[in-house]
Structures are given as structure tokens and as C-alpha cells.
């Protein structure tokens, strides 16, 4: 299933989506299938799988550590595509990675490999719209969604430019800063949601870690809630990982469903 179909399905039920992020190959490549299945059982509608990079500047300590674990366990771009291709899942998968890994593989090849592995969308946190022309064209040609981030600091002019080029969903960054679980959801979320006017689904991420926050974000008007570091923290603990991932995904999805819109 691709991303637009998933959102139409959810919209027909009046539901917002839970998008779960984990780093592929963390802590080992073998663990990823079980982790992804647990997230989906818990209620994840879309799964983002990070392709780890040695220098993840947009990520906080939690995802940095996950990237380091995955890289030490031997994760690389070839294994990533093998691994993702082997997953037995129905939900849309999204590849999140840094630009140098795409650039080095060759933009065309990278997008083809995504397509072949069953990946429906790509997020590149260090690639602003100005630098993204070639990748955008390639994504259109291969019907892979190219998902952009919009930050609280993004100007109106830039929002319009991003809306012109993005597809799948818009990744609204709830706060200035790097990724990582926080106890509160920034006030800027509400403002940003109302500034971004589009029919493309709006997903809010950065800092969300529990059902209560997820509910608030959906009540503010989000079509999807993105949660990463809170899942990665569970993986890092090594303790009853899959059961706890499933429980957290359920808590988040329940929060989303409880929201009054």
C-alpha cells in the first residue's frame, strides 16, 4: 500500500495516523523484522526505517546512539535494501536517511532500490528544497513520495515552495531542535499546523512520546503523529523490547483515536 492510499483509508474512517520511526539494523539487522511487526500490531499505520549515517546532524542523542549501534552491527545501504525488501508487511514504509548516502549510491539507483524494496517514501533531513531538484524528479518518475520537513522557523515563502515539491505527507517539526523525546509538546505545534495550508496530510513529529501528547497533537489538527525516539529508547533498553514497543504503539494510537476533532 502506498502513502496516499493509506491516508485515504484512514480519512474515510475519520482517523489520524501513527507513524513510527526506528533505525533499521538497531541493535542488529535480525531484530528489525520483529520490531516492525510489533509496531504494526500495536497500531502503527506507517513505518519509517532509518538508514543509519555516521554523522546524523539532525538527530539527538537517542537516534545518534541507534545509528551507531546499527552501523557497528554491520548495517550499510546494500544490507538495508535487502532487509527492507525481505519484510513481510502491508503498511507503507518510508526511508529516512542523510543525503550523502543517497548521493554516493547515485540518486537514480537509490530511488530504484527504494522502489524495488517496497519503500513508498523518502525523507532526507539535511536536504532542503533548494538542493533537492534531482532527487525530486527521480521520485516523481518512480512514484516514490518525497517528504519534506517544515520547521517553526520556516517562512511562508518557503512553506509554499516546499508544498509545491513535497508529496505523501508534510513532516511538521514541532519545535526547533533535534529529534528526541520530551515531556511536553511545544506550543509552536498549533501555530505551525495552522500556517501550513494544504490537502497533503500533515504529520507532526519531534518530541512526542506518549498517548496524551499524541491526542493533543491530533486535536490541534494533525493528520498524523510521528514518534521515533520513544521507540528507540525501548530498543536501547534491550528489555522486553517487542512487547513494550507494541504497548507504546497501542497507547499512542489509542491517544490518536481518543482525540476530538
Partner 1 sequence: MTTPLYGKYGGQFVPEILMPALAELEEGYQRYKDDPEFLKELDYYLKDFAGRETPLYFAKNLSKKYGTRIYLKREDLVHGGAHKLNNTIGQSLLAKYMGKTRIVAETGAGQHGTATAMTGANMGFETVVYMGAKDIERQLMNVYRMKLMGTEVHTVESGSKTLKDAINEALRDWVTNVENTHYLIGSVVGPHPYPMIVRDFQSVIGNEVKEQIMEKEGRYPDSIVACTGGGSNAMGIFHPFIEENDVKLFAVEAGGSGMTTTEHAALHSASLCVGEDGVLHGARTRILQDKYGQILESHSISAGLDYSGVGPELANLADIGRLTPRHADDDEALEAFHELSRMEGIIPALESSHALAYVMKAAQSGELGDLVVINLSGRGDKDLETVIKLEQGVKDEYP
List residues near partner 1 by CB under 8 A: 53-58, 60-61, 64, 68, 71, 76-78, 99-105, 125-131, 133, 148-155, 158, 162, 173, 176-178
Residue from 15, 59, 216, 223 carrying the catalytic annotation? 59
Reported for 203-206, long-range contacts at CB under 8 A and 24+ positions apart, including other chains, are: 203/17, 203/19, 203/169, 203/170, 203/171, 203/172, 204/172, 204/174, 205/19, 205/21, 205/171, 205/172, 205/173, 205/174, 205/179, 206/173, 206/174, 206/175, 206/177, 206/178, 206/179, 206/180
Is 48 noted as a catalytic residue in this protein? yes
Q: Which of 15, 26, 45, 48 is catalytic?
A: 48
List Cβ neighbours of 132 (8 Å cut-off, separation of 6 or more): 124, 146, 148, 165
Give 172 or 234: the residue with its C-beta nearer to partner 1.
Answer: 172
Nearer to partner 1, 34 or 106 (CB): 106
Catalytic-residue membership of 59: yes
Q: For partner 1, which is the closer residue by CB, 102 or 248? A: 102
**Smallest separation, CB 136 to partner 1 (Å):** 10
Q: In angstroms, give the least distance from the CB of 13 to partner 1.
A: 31
Q: How far is the CB of 68 from partner 1 (least distance, A)?
A: 8
DSSP symbols for 201-254: -EEEESS--SHHHHHHHHHTT-SEEEE-HHHHHHHHHTSSHHHHHHHHHHHHHH
Cβ of residue 99: shortest distance to partner 1, in angstroms? Answer: 5
Residue whose CB is less far from partner 1, 68 or 254: 68
The residues annotated as belonging to the active site are 48, 59
Amino acid at each position: 500500500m502506498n502513502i496516499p492510499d493509506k491516508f485515504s483509508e484512514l480519512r474515510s474512517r475519520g482517523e489520524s495516523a501513527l507513524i513510527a520511526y526506528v533505525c533499521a539494523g538497531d541493535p542488529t539487522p535480525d531484530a528489525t523484522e520483529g520490531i516492525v511487526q510489533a509496531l504494526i500490531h500495536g497500531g502503527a499505520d506507517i513505518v519509517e526505517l532509518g538508514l543509519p549515517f555516521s554523522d546524523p546532524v539532525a538527530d539527538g542523542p537517542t537516534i545518534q546512539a541507534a545509528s551507531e549501534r546499527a552501523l557497528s552491527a554491520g548495517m550499510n545501504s546494500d544490507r538495508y535494501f535487502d532487509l527492507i525488501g525481505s519484510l513481510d508487511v502491508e503498511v507503507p514504509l518510508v526511508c529516512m536517511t542523510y543525503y550523502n548516502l543517497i548521493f554516493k549510491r547515485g540518486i537514480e539507483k537509490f530511488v530504484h532500490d527504494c522502489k524495488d524494496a517496497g519503500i513508498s517514501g523518502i525523507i532526507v533531513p539535511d536536504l532542503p528544497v533548494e538542493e533537492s531538484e534531482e532527487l525530486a524528479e527521480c521520485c516523481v518518475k518512480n512514484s516514490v513520495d518525497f517528504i519534506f520537513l517544515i520547521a517553526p522557523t520556516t517562512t511562508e515563502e518557503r512553506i509554499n515552495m516546499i508544498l509545491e515539491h513535497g508529496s505523501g505527507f508534510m513532516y511538521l517539526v514541532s519545535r526547533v531542535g533535534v529529534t528526541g523525546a520530551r515531556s511536553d509538546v511545544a506550543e509552536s505545534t498549533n501555530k505551525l499546523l495552522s500556517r501550513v495550508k494544504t490537502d497533503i496530510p500533515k504529520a507532526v513529529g519531534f518530541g512526542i512520546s506518549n498517548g496524551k501528547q499524541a491526542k493533543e497533537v491530533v486535536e490541534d489538527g494533525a493528520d498524523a503523529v510521528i514518534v521515533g525516539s520513544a521507540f528507540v529508547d525501548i530498543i536501547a533498553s534491550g528489555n522486553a523490547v517487542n512487547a513494550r514497543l507494541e504497548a507504546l504503539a497501542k497507547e499512542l494510537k489509542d491517544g490518536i483515536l481518543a482525540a476530538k476533532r
